[in-house]
Structure formats: C-alpha cells, structure tokens
Amino acid sequence: MSAVSAGPAAGPAPAAARIRARRARWYRQPTLMAGLVLLAIILFMCYGAPLLTSFNPDTQNLLEPLVGIGQQGHLLGTDQEGRDTWARLLYGGQVDLRVAGLAVLFPFVLGIIVGSLAGYFGGWVDAIIMRIVDIVVAFPFFVLVIALVFVLGTGEKSIYIAITAVGWVSYARITRGEITVAKRQEYVLAAQSGGLSSVRIITRHLLPNVITQSIVYAMSDIVQDILAIVTLSYLGLGIQPPTADWGSMISDGQNFLTTEWWLTTIPGLAVVITGVALSLIGDGLADLLRPGAS
C-alpha cells in the first residue's frame, strides 16, 4: 500500500492492471472518503448515543421546558415537554437511519428481481413489467408515498410498503437495461450451453456483472428516502410520538421558531448533513465504478 502502486501507467494499461490499481486506490477517492468518514461519525453518534448522553430521549420533565442551549446540564436544551434535545437528536437519528436503510433495501431487492426477469426474458414479460413501471413513474414520488401512507395508516410498516411500492421502479429500469445488454454477451450463451437454469444464469452470472449501477443509485435513493421519512413524520404520518425522530422534532419545534430556533434548526441540519454524507458516497462510488475511470 505504498506509492509504488499509485503512479498511473503511461498509455492504456491492461485491464488487469487497471482493476488492481483501482482497488488499491479506492481510499484515495476524496469524495468517497469524505462521505464515508462523515457517515461513520453520524452512525457512531446515533448508535453510540448512550455513551454521549445520560438522558432518556422520551422522559418528560415538565419542570424544565424549553431550556436554552447549554443550560442546566442540557447540551442542546430541552423541548416544550422538558425532554433533552441532544438525546432526542441522537436516538431519533437511530430511528431515521434504520428506517431509511430498510426502506432502501426492500425496493432494491424487489426492483432487481423484477428488472432481471424483464431484461432476461424480454418479450411479453418485459412489455407487461415495463408498462407497470411507466405507470408508477408517472406519479411524483412524494405525492404517491404520502397518499399510500395515508391510505395504509401511519407507522413504520406503512412507510416500508409505500416506499417499496414506489421506489422499486428505478431499480427495475436500471437492472432491466443493464441485463438486456449483458445477456447478449457470449458468456451467457456459454452458460446456456452448459445447461444452467435461467435462475442460476441470472443470479450467478448476470447480476454480479450489472449490480454496481443499482448500488450507486441506492446511495442517492437513500437520501430521498430519509427526506421522505422525515417529511412523513413532519406531517404526522410517520414515526409516531413519543418515539423521537428528526421529522417530528422539526414539526414540534416550529411553534417556537422565533424564540427557541434551535429546536427546528438542529434536526434540520442533521438531515442535511446525513444527506450530504450519503450523496458524497454515491458520487464517489459512481466515479470509482464508472468504466474507464482513471
């Protein structure tokens, strides 16, 4: 891991050397590195919350409402019910990150399965699936998610269902496009001549070749999902009180915006910083995995 492997070779390097060089240099990608460090800090703060605060995020103390920053032992003060804002920020982050992580996983898996089938089999399977995709894509993301959660009722489960129902289409489109191209490669013909089943060809041979695009997209998708979860909570459709969550913190704090501005601003900043961290990872990965990247 020294400077020996770092110098770019003159002229077109052979594929093998290029891949080796790319592997050795992933940590030199400043965008990716910045994003990963930022995300690591955020994850540590949220999941290490018991180490960083001794307050319970849900314990009310009606004797100490709306305490200012740094006063009476409260790092970021308290809200209108006397709950410690710093504790709520950290524990609320746990909830938002967990829900966002799962909310990106379900559409990722569903979209890739459906997209693979459409891309590999083509014909009427492809036609039907892609028309369904077109219908879902025709609706704006937030409108459809909010409408679905409204119909399904509030709560974490509805968030997963709504985001999956709307979010899978992007993964399906990406995977379908990539597989439509990749299935014409000779190694697929070779796999068919070896008597492998379609399922095996898709999962063992095609997906490892095409899944990177979906992974890169998932990084930007998770940003959108965090925003959606926060928005839903802000509207009272998401994480239910008393569980802390950045969206409901923003919503609760807005009544005191003129006097205790930090109650809304700080969770808002938390959303922004998390979004920036994930976007940086997404951009860095895209640069790293883009074919021909030097």
Partner 1 sequence: MSGALQLEVSDLHVQIGGDHGAVRPIDGVSFEIEPGEAVGLVGESGSGKSMTLKSILGLLPPDAKVTSGSVVFDGIDLTNLSQSRLNKVRGRRIGMIFQEPMSALNPVMRVGSQIAEGPRVHLGMSRAQSIERAMDLMRRVGIPEPERRFRAFPHEFSGGMRQRVMIAMALSCDPELILCDEPTTALDVTIQDQILRLLAQLCHESGTSLMFVTHDLPVVAQVCHKVAVMYAGRIVERGTVEEVFTRPMHPYTLGLLRSAPDVDRPGQSLEPIPGLPPNMASPPSGCRFHPRCQFAEDDCKVSDPPLRLLDGDRATACLHYERCLDQIGTES
What is the binding site for partner 1 (CB under 8 A)? 15-16, 19, 122, 185-187, 189-197, 200, 204-205, 208-209
Q: What is the nearest approach in angstroms of partner 1 to the Cβ of residue 20?
A: 10
C-beta of residue 226 within 8 angstroms of C-beta of residue 275: yes
> In this complex, which beta carbon is closest to partner 1, that of residue 153 or of residue 292?
292
Q: Please, which residue, 4 or 15, has the CB nearer to partner 1? A: 15
**Which residue number, 3 or 15, has a Cβ lying nearer to partner 1?**
15
C-alpha 117/C-alpha 136 separation (Å) is 18
- Asked if 85 and 262 count as a contact pair (C-beta separation under 8 A), the reply is yes
If the CB atoms of residues 75 and 182 are measured against partner 1, the closer one turns out to be 182
Residue 281: CB minimum distance to partner 1, A? 22
Q: Which is nearer to partner 1, 151 or 190 (CB)?
A: 190
Distance of closest approach, residue 108 Cβ to partner 1, in angstroms: 19
Q: Are 86 and 75 in contact (CB under 8 A)?
A: yes
Q: Which is nearer to partner 1, 81 or 126 (CB)?
A: 126
Q: What is the DSSP letter of 83?
A: -
Structure tokens at 146: 């909010």
Q: How far is the CB of 192 from partner 1 (least distance, A)?
A: 6
* Beta carbon of residue 91, minimum distance to partner 1 (angstroms, whole number): 41
Contact 260, 253 (CB under 8 A): yes
Q: How many CA atoms lie within 13 A of 152 on its CB side?
A: 20
Quick check: bond before 291 cis, omega within 30? no
The CA distance from 177 to 163, in Å, is 22
Could you tell me the two tokens for 31? Answer: 């965008």
Q: Which residues contact 226 (CB under 8 A, 6 or more apart)?
A: 96, 97, 100, 271, 274, 275, 278
| Residue 125: CB minimum distance to partner 1, A | 13
